[in-house]
């Protein structure tokens, strides 16, 4: 692991409060980490894959390395899957910060050579190292609240996926079956739209259908939410 070039004078409170301080720069696939060992004053840089098993292995490694003592972790995020995953570990004290705060601090450290500029993870580490008294630690919710938060996050992801797939379907229909955009209803993901496209997936098949069959399709009892009839 690499040592950073950002130096800081250790204080006694570092050892008393936390065993280590960590700055985390989160990303969709891989997170960058900057760690400060309060006992030795040494800094380390590493990366962490954004996967539940990788996060769990990393967290358990920290717990064993520092004997379960408290570790401060600063990151530019206040919600999401990563925060929810980190909240599972009681020895981690999370300090979420506003991206604007990190941006201003990062600008103060900017040098004339880009290769010497601190990484986002190092900036988060410097903030929790120098200005922890100005930060507010994240107060973990109880288990039920965290579970609800995870479910809401999963729901948002599913809605985003539904929107993406619906837009792809709408674009495809515009090219080969534009009539369906009116006949299947306003919301293509709704039971009516899905059943219409399953029954008549092309204009040719719709034209072959009897008028009475099409009429019955629209005037039958309302479809249940899962689209079964």
What percent of the chain is helix, strand and coil (3-state, nearest 5)? 50, 15, 35
Radius of gyration for the alpha carbons in the chain, expressed in angstroms and rounded: 26
Q: Using one digit for the tens of pLDDT, what is the confidence trace for 51-98?
A: 889 999 999 999 999 999 999 999 987 667 788 788 889 899 999 988
Instruction: Give the separation between CA 217 and CA 229, rounded to whole angstroms.
Output: 11
The CATH number of the structural domain formed by 12-140 is: 3.30.420.10
145: confidence class by pLDDT, cuts 50, 70, 90: low
Contact assessment for residue 90 and residue 37, using Cβ atoms and an 8 Å cutoff: no
Instruction: Give the separation between CA 220 and CA 48, rounded to whole angstroms.
Output: 54
Residue 126: strand, helix, or coil:
helix
As annotated, the residues of the chain forming the CATH 3.30.420.10 domain(s) are 12-140
Structure tokens that stand for 77 in this block: 């995020």
Residue 11: strand, helix, or coil:
coil
Contact assessment for residue 69 and residue 18, using Cβ atoms and an 8 Å cutoff: yes
pLDDT at 47: 93
Q: What HEC string does 132-201 produce?
A: HHHCCCCCCCCHHHHHHHHHHHHHHHHHHHHHHHHHHHHHHHHHHCCCHHHHCCCCCCCHHHHHHHHHCC
Q: Using one digit for the tens of pLDDT, what is the confidence trace for 167-185?
A: 999 999 999 999 999 998 8
| Local structure of residue 118 (DSSP, 8 states) | P
103: part of which helix (H) or strand (E)? helix 99-108
pLDDT at 229: 47
| Local structure of residue 87 (DSSP, 8 states) | T
User: Does residue 143 or residue 151 have the better pLDDT?
Assistant: 151
Query: Which pTM was predicted?
Result: 0.56
In 19-174, beta strands by DSSP E: 20-25, 30-37, 43-49, 71-75, 92-96
Half-sphere exposure of 222 (CA within 13 A, CB side): 3
Instruction: Give the separation between CA 155 and CA 157, rounded to whole angstroms.
Output: 5
């Amino acid at each position: 692991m690499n040592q950073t070039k950002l130096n800081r004078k250790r204080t006694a409170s570092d050892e008393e409060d936390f065993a280590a301080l960590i700055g985390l720069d989160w990303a969709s696939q891989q997170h960058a980490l900057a760690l400060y060992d309060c006992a030795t004053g040494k800094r380390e840089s590493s990366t962490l894959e954004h996967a539940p098993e990788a996060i769990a292995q990393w967290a358990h490694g920290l717990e064993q390395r520092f004997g379960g003592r408290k570790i401060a972790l600063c990151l530019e995020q206040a919600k999401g899957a990563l925060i929810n995953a980190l909240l599972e570990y009681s020895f981690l004290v999370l300090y979420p910060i506003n991206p604007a705060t990190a941006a201003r601090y990062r600008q103060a450290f900017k040098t004339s050579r880009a290769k010497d500029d601190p990484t986002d993870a190092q900036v988060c580490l410097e903030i929790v190292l120098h200005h922890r008294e100005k930060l507010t630690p994240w107060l973990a919710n109880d288990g039920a609240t965290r579970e609800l938060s995870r479910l809401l996050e999963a729901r948002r992801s599913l809605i985003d996926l539904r929107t993406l797939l619906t837009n792809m379907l709408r674009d495809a229909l515009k090219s080969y079956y534009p009539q369906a955009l009116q006949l299947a209803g306003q919301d293509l993901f709704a039971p009516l739209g899905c059943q219409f496209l399953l029954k008549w997936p092309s204009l040719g098949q719709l034209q072959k259908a009897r008028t009475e069959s099409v009429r019955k399709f629209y005037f039958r009892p309302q479809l249940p939410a899962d689209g079964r009839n």
